[in-house]
Amino acid sequence: MTYFAFLRENARWLSACYLLTVFSGFGQTFFISLSAGDLQAEFGLSHGDLGLLYMLATLGSALTLPWVGKSLDHFPVRWIAAVVLTGLALFCLAMAYTFSVWMIVVAFYGLRLCGQGMMGHTSLTAAGRWFTAQRGRAVSIAILGFPTAEAIFPLGFVALSAMIGWRGAWTVGALALLLVALPVVLMLLARDRVPSASEVAAVSTEGRQWTRGEALRDWRFWLVSCGVNAPAFIGTSIFFHQVYLVELRGWSLELFASAFLMMALGVVCASLVIGPLIDRFSARQLLPFTLIPLMCACFLLANFYAPIVAFFFMGLVGISNGFNGTLVGALWPEVYGTQHMGAIRSVAFAIMVFASAAGPGLIGWLIDLGVSLDLQVTVMGFYCLIFCGVLAFCSRAYLSREHS
């Protein structure tokens, strides 16, 4: 089947997965952080205070996700999508009408759980489960929702805030979820996808269907998780401290912000390229290469200070995110089967959320201790280099299991 024929025949389900990742943007760090200054001003919070509240809320969502994420193994995707979209809208309203510090924590927790956690988890789990024979292509299309949100949501929020205030902008976001996202996604998912004969045959040859407990007792799961979650840790850490970074480099914040376009382009290009490659070679065979772009990005940022480096760095981070996100979305169902994928992927997502929460706090603590950011980024690059070898070892272990 050609790429365009695949898109045409599965447009409704691919569109639903794509839209779920788009609207997960309301719970992503890049969007929530746009209200940081207003929250600090209204509630008298310091940068450290707000960062601590955000970290605690994010860690809370990471601990909750394995319990709610396994619901995808027991209920239709349409039901889960309806509940999560409604919940995300309610937490957007909680942010809009927050009146105390404890409400900020509740709003952060709900936005992170429903947005970053369950929306992305639902989208990628559905894509990985529905499209066995074309899993790589399906996940690569779902992943495109993330750069779409990064390109559109911040500009829309800034424009709305200028007209109706930051609380009004969050209210509009809630209405968009309830009046636009919810009915459109439910319409797209009104009809279940029926696998083709070739896909049924592919499912029948998937082999062992691992339970979550069995996957968590597999040493490869944990080693691979330590590798594939490096982009979440490194990217979130650097973006959270971007003001400190640009001050060190003598760059302007506007320059660095404009480089996000390069990141979005990198995600799109990498996702569209890696998807068909996964279908051709398998995610297991491509696993050792996933951290190479991020490793290059870290060494580049740590050793070169010219303003143009910001664009090359962000482009490489985008390639890394597109490569890694698509590959991981296809890897887990490929190696552990699809029967319990909701439960297994919920743990994998929780680890990713934990990595994104821990990174900014750890890097900020080291900065306060006087450890240079260049040294920290260099260590991140060597971490990626080491785990390229670790992931190559895991890849061979997965492939040897298949042929044993």
pLDDT in tens, 83-113: 999 999 999 999 999 989 999 999 999 999 9
Contacts for 171 with CB less than 8 Å, ≥ 6 apart? 92, 93, 96
> Using CA atoms, how far apart are residues 262 and 275, in angstroms rounded to an integer?
20
DSSP line for 84-104 = HHHHHHHHHHHHHT--SHHHH
Q: What pLDDT was estimated at residue 9?
A: 81
Q: Count CB atoms within 10 A of the CB of residue 196.
A: 15
Q: Is the pLDDT of residue 126 over 90?
A: no
Q: Which of 7, 28, 29 is nearest to 18 (CA)?
A: 7
> Using CA atoms, how far apart are residues 242 and 31, in angstroms rounded to an integer?
15
> Using CA atoms, how far apart are residues 69 and 52, in angstroms rounded to an integer?
25
**Region of residue 185 (left: phi > 0; alpha: psi -120 to 50; beta: else):** alpha
Provide the CATH topology of domain 10-188: Growth Hormone; Chain: A; (1.20.1250)
Q: Taking residues 3-22, what's their average pLDDT?
A: 85
Global pTM?
0.77
Q: Is the pLDDT of residue 202 over 60?
A: no
Cβ pair 178, 313 in contact under 8 A: no
Q: Taking residues 195-219, what's their average pLDDT?
A: 71
Domain boundaries in the chain?
10-188, 208-404
Cβ pair 266, 296 in contact under 8 A: no
> Using CA atoms, how far apart are residues 386 and 380, in angstroms rounded to an integer?
10
> Using CA atoms, how far apart are residues 24 and 266, in angstroms rounded to an integer?
19
- Residues 179-190 have pLDDT tens digits of 999 999 999 998
Which of 99-108, 113-122, 131-140 is most confident?
Answer: 99-108
Q: Which of 119, 99, 92, 94 is nearest to 22 (CA)?
A: 119
- Residues 254-287 have pLDDT tens digits of 787 778 788 888 988 888 888 888 888 888 999 9
User: What dotted CATH number matches 208-404?
Assistant: 1.20.1250.20
Cβ pair 22, 141 in contact under 8 A: no
> Using CA atoms, how far apart are residues 357 and 370, in angstroms rounded to an integer?
21
Asked if 10-188 and 208-404 have one fold, the answer is: yes
> Using CA atoms, how far apart are residues 303 and 294, in angstroms rounded to an integer?
14
Question: Between residues 254 and 196, which one has the greater pLDDT?
Answer: 254
Question: Between residues 162 and 401, which one has the greater pLDDT?
Answer: 162
Structural Rg of the chain based on CA atoms: 20
Q: What pLDDT was estimated at residue 1?
A: 58
> Using CA atoms, how far apart are residues 27 and 32, in angstroms rounded to an integer?
7
Question: Between residues 223 and 256, which one has the greater pLDDT?
Answer: 223
Cβ pair 333, 274 in contact under 8 A: no
> Using CA atoms, how far apart are residues 404 and 401, in angstroms rounded to an integer?
5
Cβ pair 365, 48 in contact under 8 A: no
Q: Is the pLDDT of residue 167 over 90?
A: yes
> Using CA atoms, how far apart are residues 382 and 298, in angstroms rounded to an integer?
9
